[in-house]
């Protein structure tokens, strides 16, 4: 891919250049019992449109519009019931009668459109600032009391706090199942709490949660295992992970396939059914000396289906300059990776934020009618 030369409105017309997207529209059952109408997944995107953490009718309508053509919706990150999980009273949470009633309406609306839906379970960890809502008095929870820049943000999490975090994720998953969600996703990416334990820079512990990869993955694996115990067999669990972190795009939790296996295999054994692989550019090789993508390596190492995410349908990578973009948005590489067995599902973020009917228009060969994503429009998009 080369530098961006065209405006996004011109680039969207290149989505179908040289490709038949038909394979992306075939029904699929990535996890037993989870049948999807196509391979497209709406990725989580924080919107902060849920006052007091309760999703309202507007949130239900927002997801239902996109559910009309997508196979699977993964909601915006939802705070688990641990006091330090969040930093905004407008981001939804997954606990309490009012919030669960709001989510039930969201689920019903998505199901009415023929799609499936997972909530993403979220704890910010050290990215939370002290004194923030919804629980201003709560301390900042992190592996080692530092953030990604090495600044002190509090005390290292105690084993009691770690146990409380595990319990909070499990309760949220059980509530999600009761509400009617089709599965759950655990947010272990982008520099948030579980990822802070995975990453050596933010995890400098010397106990059983720190040091080698087998220890750093322990919290995430305990969370997954507790969720599995709470929801029982056959209920899908997705785990989202990334190499990059917010503001640290060159970060990595693994520099070789062997190191990646040390992280992913314990998660698989704990109960993960599906991995959501978040990259900034889905087509790039994961490791030097190999042409295989991070999604491809994940599937190879775990045997689990994968969602590949990273600049599908948009001109530039997340939080990147327009000069980092590409000259074509053709879906040909996606189809090629699907045929090579490197991915099962395709994550869409900003593309479906900008145009709720993106999938439908691509399927109908109407790429030129798609509303392109452009920076600065987030506050007005529906």
What does each of the 382 residues of the chain score in pLDDT, given as a tens digit? 334 445 667 889 899 999 999 999 999 999 999 999 999 999 999 999 999 999 999 999 999 999 999 999 999 999 999 999 999 999 999 999 999 999 999 999 999 999 999 999 999 999 999 999 999 999 999 999 999 999 999 999 999 999 999 999 999 999 999 999 999 999 999 999 999 999 999 999 999 999 999 999 999 999 999 999 999 999 999 999 999 998 899 999 999 999 999 999 999 999 999 999 999 999 999 999 999 999 999 999 999 999 999 999 998 777 666 556 677 899 999 999 999 999 999 999 999 999 999 999 999 999 999 999 887 655 455 6
Dig out the tokens for 99 from the structure: 């919030």
Sign, CA dihedral 148-154-155-160, equals negative
CATH of domain 8-369: 3.20.20.70
Task: Give the burial class of 106: count Cβ atoms within 10 A of its Cβ; 0-12 exposed, 13-18 middle, 19 or more buried.
Answer: buried
pLDDT value at residue 298: 98
pLDDT value at residue 286: 96
pLDDT value at residue 328: 87
Q: Where are the alpha helices (DSSP H) in 113-217?
A: 159-179, 193-198, 213-216
Rounded to the nearest 10 degrees, the angle between the axes of helix 257-270 and helix 294-302 is 50
Task: Give the burial class of 178: count Cβ atoms within 10 A of its Cβ; 0-12 exposed, 13-18 middle, 19 or more buried.
Answer: exposed
pLDDT value at residue 6: 54
Task: Return all residues near 318 (Cβ < 8 A) that are at least 6 apart.
Answer: 280, 310, 311, 349, 350
For the chain, what are the domain ranges? Answer: 8-369
- Cis peptide preceding 134, ω within 30 of 0: yes
pLDDT value at residue 316: 74
Taking only Cα atoms into account, the Rg of the chain, rounded to an integer number of angstroms, comes to: 20
pLDDT value at residue 322: 58
Q: What is the DSSP secondary-structure string of 231-287?
A: H-TTS-EEEEEES-BTTBTT--S-SSHHHHHHHHHHHHHHT--EEEEE-SSTTSBSS
Q: Which residues are catalytic?
A: 192
Beta bridge pairs of residue 248: 245
DSSP state of 323: G
DSSP state of 190: B
pLDDT value at residue 140: 97
Rounded to two decimals, the pTM is 0.95
Interatomic CA distance for residues 13 and 15, integer angstroms:
6
Q: Which of 165, 172, 195, 196 is nearest to 78 (CA)?
A: 172
Three-state secondary-structure class, residue 183? coil
Task: Decide: 328 and 17 in contact? Cβ < 8 Å.
Answer: yes
* Residue whose token pair is 């759950």: 184
Q: Which of 247, 299, 250, 300 is nearest to 275 (CA)?
A: 299
């Amino acid at each position: 891919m080369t530098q961006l030369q065209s405006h996004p409105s011109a680039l969207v017309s290149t989505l179908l250049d040289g490709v038949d997207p038909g394979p992306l529209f075939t029904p699929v059952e990535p996890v037993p019992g989870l049948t999807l109408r196509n391979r497209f997944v709406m990725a989580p995107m924080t919107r902060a449109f849920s006052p007091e953490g309760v999703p309202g009718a507007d949130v239900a309508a927002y997801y239902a519009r996109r559910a009309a053509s997508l196979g699977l919706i993964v909601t915006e990150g939802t705070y688990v019931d641990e006091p330090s999980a969040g930093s905004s009273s407008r981001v939804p949470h997954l606990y309490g009668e009012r919030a669960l009633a709001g989510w039930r309406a969201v689920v019903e609306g998505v199901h009415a459109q023929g799609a499936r839906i997972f909530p993403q379970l979220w704890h910010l960890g050290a990215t939370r600032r002290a004194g923030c809502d919804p629980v201003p008095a709560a301390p900042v929870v992190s592996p080692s009391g530092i953030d990604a820049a090495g600044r002190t943000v509090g005390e290292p999490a105690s084993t009691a706090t770690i146990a409380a975090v595990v319990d909070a994720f499990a309760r949220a998953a059980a509530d999600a199942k009761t509400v009617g969600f089709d599965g759950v996703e655990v947010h272990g990416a982008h520099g948030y709490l579980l990822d802070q334990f995975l990453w050596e820079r933010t995890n400098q512990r010397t106990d059983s949660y720190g040091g080698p990869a087998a220890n750093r993955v322990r919290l995430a694996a305990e969370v997954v295992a507790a969720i599995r115990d709470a929801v029982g067999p056959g209920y899908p669990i997705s785990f989202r992970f990334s190499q990059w972190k917010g503001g640290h795009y060159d970060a990595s939790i693994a520099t070789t396939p062997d190191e990646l296996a040390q992280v992913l295999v314990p998660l698989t054994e704990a109960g993960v059914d599906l991995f959501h692989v978040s990259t900034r550019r889905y087509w790039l090789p994961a490791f030097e000396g190999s042409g295989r993508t991070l999604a491809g390596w994940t599937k190879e190492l775990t045997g689990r289906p994968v969602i590949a995410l990273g600049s599908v349908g948009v001109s530039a990578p997340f939080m990147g300059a327009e000069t980092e973009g590409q000259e074509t948005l053709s879906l040909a590489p996606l189809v090629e990776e699907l045929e090579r067995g490197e991915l099962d599902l395709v994550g869409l973020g900003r593309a479906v934020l900008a145009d709720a009917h993106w999938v439908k228009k691509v399927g109908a060969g109407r790429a030129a009618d798609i509303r392109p994503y452009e920076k600065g429009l987030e506050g007005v998009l529906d």
